[in-house]
Structure formats: C-alpha cells, structure tokens
C-alpha cells in the first residue's frame, strides 16, 4: 500500500495545510527575490495519481523546467518545483534581459537563477513542514533541468516507490506586475516519514 493511499479526511487536511502554508511562504520569498510585490490566489492543493497529475500539468509530452529538491533530516522525500517557459523567463528577466524561446534555450547562467528560485521556494515548503511538525527538515541543493512532465514525474515515484502512485500537487497562481503566472510544487514523502508526521501531529492512520 502506498504512503498516500487511503488517507482519511483529517490526514488529507494536514497535507493540504502543508501545501497552503508552503505556497504562502513561497510567495513571500519569491517577492523578496525579485524585489517586486506579488499577489497570490488561494492555492489549489490536490492528491493525484501519476496519470492524473500528468494530465493536470498539461500532458506527459509537455516540456517544462523542473527543479528537483531532496528533503532530508527528520523527514525524507522529494520536491519538484515545475515552471513553464514564461514563468522562467519572468524570473530570469528580473536580473538581466533575455528572451527565452524554448525550455531548451535556457543556458547555464539562466539555470543558476532558476536554482536560486528553487532554493527559496523549496525552503518555504520545508519550513511549512518543520513548523507544523516540529521536526528538523532540511533540503538538498536544487537541481534544475528541462524535461517532459512524464520524465519529471518518473523520478520521485522511482525514488520513493512506497509512496504508491499518489502525488501531492500544489497549483500556485502568482500575479506579478498584473501578469498571472502559474507554477506547481510537487511533494512526495517516503512512507516512514509520512507516518512520523502524522504520529507527531496526533493524527491516526
């Protein structure tokens, strides 16, 4: 049985709360990075199967930029911040002017900017986990790369197979300089860590 299978309503609410707090923290952190006020719609937090996640993100063949961040210390797992070409272009152009024609045209310098973004946004979610649980939650060095949605989703599932086929997907809708930009954060915790989280919060499985 996968870690995210058959969660009860209270456990699902816990996961949604992590997503909501993390998204709010990420919005504040992102605003500080680019030096511009950012508004945010209420994030949509869902627990989806792999196929449903792929469809929700636009289809398995769609190319996006995925920033992989490992979760470690008291809780272990993996996060992926998934952004499209326009989102990446907006962040990069905060620091220097560049038109991004495709995900494949993003070079090493661009990736360093995206890595910094991934560092602060994933840190925001890690802080949400730590705040709710009281556990120490650290993150690894962000690893950005362009790929299809199908290839990106394969990574956390293969790494944490015990998590079943369910993925926590946070749909973030940011408004930057009147432009609405979307990104998604995916969180997969290994089974033991998810059980530790629920135990610490007194939520029975």
Q: How far apart are the first and last CA of the chain?
A: 13
Strands 63-73 and 179-189: unpaired
Strands 137-139 and 77-83: unpaired
User: Residue 7 pLDDT > 80, yes or no?
Assistant: no
User: Residue 168 pLDDT > 70, yes or no?
Assistant: yes
Rounded average pLDDT over 27-36: 89
Rounded average pLDDT over 49-72: 88
Helix (H, G, I), strand (E, B), or coil: what is residue 89?
helix
User: Residue 197 pLDDT > 80, yes or no?
Assistant: yes
pLDDT single digits (tens) 145-163: 888 998 888 888 777 655 4
Rounded average pLDDT over 173-182: 89
Pseudo-torsion of CA 80, 38, 123, 10, nearest 10°? Answer: -70
pLDDT single digits (tens) 93-117: 989 999 988 888 899 999 999 999 9
User: Residue 53 pLDDT > 90, yes or no?
Assistant: no
User: Residue 2 pLDDT > 60, yes or no?
Assistant: no
Tell me what pLDDT residue 99 has.
92
Map tokens 């394969």 to a residue: 154
Residues making up the chain, counted from first to last:
205
The most confident of the ranges 4-8, 139-143, 186-190 is: 139-143
Mention every residue, 6+ apart, whose C-beta is less than 8 A from residue 9: none
Query: Exposed e or buried b for every residue in 157-174, given b needs 16+ CB within 10 A?
Result: beebeebbbbbbbbbbbb
Average pLDDT of the chain? 86
pLDDT single digits (tens) 126-145: 988 898 888 999 999 999 88
pLDDT confidence band for 165 (50 / 70 / 90): low
Q: How many CB atoms lie within 10 A of CB 7?
A: 18
Tell me what pLDDT residue 1 has.
40
Q: How far apart are CA 14 and CA 197, in angstroms?
A: 9
Q: How far apart are CA 164 and CA 138, in angstroms?
A: 23
């Amino acid at each position: 049985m996968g870690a995210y299978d058959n969660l009860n309503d209270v456990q699902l609410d816990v996961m949604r709360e992590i997503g909501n707090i993390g998204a709010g923290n990420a919005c504040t952190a992102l605003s500080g990075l680019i030096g511009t006020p950012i508004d945010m719609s209420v994030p949509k937090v869902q627990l989806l199967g792999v196929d449903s996640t792929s469809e929700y993100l636009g289809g398995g063949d769609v190319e996006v930029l995925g920033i992989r961040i490992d979760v470690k210390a008291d809780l272990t797992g993996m996060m992926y911040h998934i952004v499209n070409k326009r989102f990446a272009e907006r962040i990069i152009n905060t620091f220097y002017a560049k038109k991004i024609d495709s995900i494949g045209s993003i070079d090493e310098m661009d990736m360093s900017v995206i890595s910094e973004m991934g560092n602060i946004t994933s840190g925001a979610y890690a802080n949400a986990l730590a705040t709710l649980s009281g556990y120490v939650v650290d993150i690894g060095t962000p690893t950005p790369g362009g790929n299809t949605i199908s290839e990106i989703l394969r990574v956390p599932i293969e790494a944490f197979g015990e998590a079943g086929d369910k993925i926590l997907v946070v749909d973030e809708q940011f408004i930057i300089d009147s432009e609405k930009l979307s990104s998604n954060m995916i969180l997969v915790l290994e089974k033991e860590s998810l059980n530790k989280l629920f135990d610490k919060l007194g939520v029975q499985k």
